[in-house]
Amino acid sequence: MRHHRLDALRTNELFDILVIGGGATGCGIAVDAATRGLKVALVERNDFAEGTSSRSTKMVHGGVRYLEAAIKRLDKAQYTLVREGLHERGAFLRNAPHLSNRVPLVTPLYSWMEVPYVFAGLKLYDLLAGSQNIGHSSLISRAEALRRFPFLKADGLKAGVVYYDGQFVDARMAIALAKTAEDAGAAVANHVAVTALIHDTDRRVAGAEVEDRLTGDRWTIRARAVINATGPYADAICRMDDPAAQPILKVSSGIHIVLDKRFVPPDTGMLIPKTDDGRVLFILPWQGHALIGTTDEPATVSEHPKPEAADIAYLLNHIRRYFNVAVSESDIKSVWSGIRPLVFDPKAKDTSQLARDHVIIESMSGLVTISGGKWTTYRLMSEQAVDRAISVAHLSPVRPCCTHHLKLWGGAGYREDGDRVLVRDYGLEADVARHLNRIYGDRASDVAALAASGAGARLHPAHPYIEAEVLYAVREEAAVHAADVLVRRMTLAHVDRPAALAALPRVVAIMTDALGWSDHDREVEESRARERLEEAI
């Protein structure tokens, strides 16, 4: 339960590393540092992956756009980014097999001039993946492209190219990382905010003042090194360290909409590499639905950015352009907006140039800040950030980095046919068993056991999520709010917001019994979660 996690943070002992931020990078850093034998603390002011890390395109990719830029500009740095991304893609899919999978993507071609260019580029994409390649690109005929996507507009269609990338469940990946770090000895807590950084007599960063956002309790966490992994909030933490710190961020927003599964084949996605205004458009099968994204607009930092009507209209308009299908706002089952931090190194000569991937910056006090990047390369970014912290604070890890081949929580004993075992041993319905196996991996039997003890009812008749998952989220996965459960421990709010709203009262009732909420607490929780689900998940 939560108090055990807080007790681990309240110790008077000196931590080797304090990580600020519980998104992809922060949780990855905690895993890397703890598995090296370092004493690690991590705090997240909201819930794990509540920000950018749960609002992604759900893709594990090397970066096709980077490759195109590398070819056009003969830019070696872009090639390196793609090669690193493809290498990390392989590690990602291997280490979290329950939460990730390979997906074929079709790119339709409407000009014969495009065919050799796009096909050659994607074959180069395969080549750069080397031993980590997950599938060979191929040219397909017009007829085959239409067979795979029957709704695809046929007028002018010449051919198509199929290539392969990965996809995953982002919020669950963050939970898997947090649990992996915890199992390795890290002290990890959500809903604990840093209110100030502390410094020693030499003005070196030495820890932080923190506040439990649920109780208001405050205490100090001392650490030899502090890593700022707060994504869009990196500048705010840097200013805690030095009020005169130069900004390193610009941010943009991207929205995604979810439609019914009839809008996409169950096992194939589509990539439009360049729309008429130069953006990328993905149409993907995800969690039994169709995921469409993304836009890219200048933005300001916000905890829960609201999707703009113009961006929603943009995506719907482009679906109509490429598909012979009637689609309107009434078909949207869920929508979300994510803030993407775009970074530049203030020490660089030209700070107008945003970094292509991520930057790691060390302040005068020794604060290590990492920002930018993408989910695919979280592991490499984490390794580099821990390396920097070890150097800055002269730490002595027990062992070198071992995350490249480290199976994450739920992945070590995962079996693709594990759902059959769950059906046989616990009498679960087939779709529920498949869902539990893919989300919890080798921990699915723990959830199934809770279901067998009386918590096996569905939360919504149209979806495989069950009451046992709510109990498990509270007991094992640090969920303390109803939104923690519906938005991030489950994917229900992301695939069907009306269904999540319908399930909300039952989720709150289960959490009330599990956490001992008063009638007032229950009303507040339900109201807060309803507001979140109705406005911006």
For CA atoms 481, 483, 484, 489, the dihedral sign is positive
14: its two tokens: 């000196």
pLDDT tens string 312-335: 999 999 899 888 888 999 999 999
Tell me what the pLDDT averaged over the chain comes to.
93
Please tell me the distance from the alpha carbon of residue 164 to that of residue 134, in angstroms, as a whole number: 7
503: three-class secondary structure by DSSP: helix
**What's the chain's length in residues?**
537
Please tell me the distance from the alpha carbon of residue 223 to that of residue 207, in angstroms, as a whole number: 5
State the pLDDT confidence band at 352, using cuts at 50, 70 and 90. Answer: very low
> pLDDT at position 73, please?
72
> pLDDT at position 347, please?
63
pLDDT tens string 391-443: 999 999 999 999 999 999 999 999 999 999 999 999 999 999 999 999 999 99
Segment 286-296 mean pLDDT? 89
pLDDT tens string 38-84: 999 999 999 999 999 999 999 999 888 778 777 777 777 778 889 99
pLDDT tens string 127-149: 999 999 999 999 999 999 999 99
pLDDT tens string 354-388: 555 899 999 999 999 999 999 999 999 999 999 99
The domain locations on the chain are 2-53+172-248+344-405, 55-166+250-340, 418-535
> pLDDT at position 147, please?
94
Side-chain half-sphere exposure of 427, counting CA atoms within 13 A: 8
Side-chain half-sphere exposure of 526, counting CA atoms within 13 A: 19
CATH number of 55-166+250-340: 3.30.9.10
Indicate the fold that domain 418-535 takes in CATH. Helicase, Ruva Protein; domain 3 (1.10.8)
State the pLDDT confidence band at 285, using cuts at 50, 70 and 90. Answer: very high
State the pLDDT confidence band at 117, using cuts at 50, 70 and 90. Answer: confident
> pLDDT at position 298, please?
77
* Residue whose tokens read 């070196």: 204
pLDDT tens string 211-233: 999 999 999 999 999 999 999 99
2-53+172-248+344-405 CATH pick, 3.90.79.10, 3.40.190.10, 3.40.309.10, 3.50.50.60: 3.50.50.60
State the pLDDT confidence band at 345, using cuts at 50, 70 and 90. Answer: low
Q: Both ends of the chain: CA-CA distance in Å? A: 25
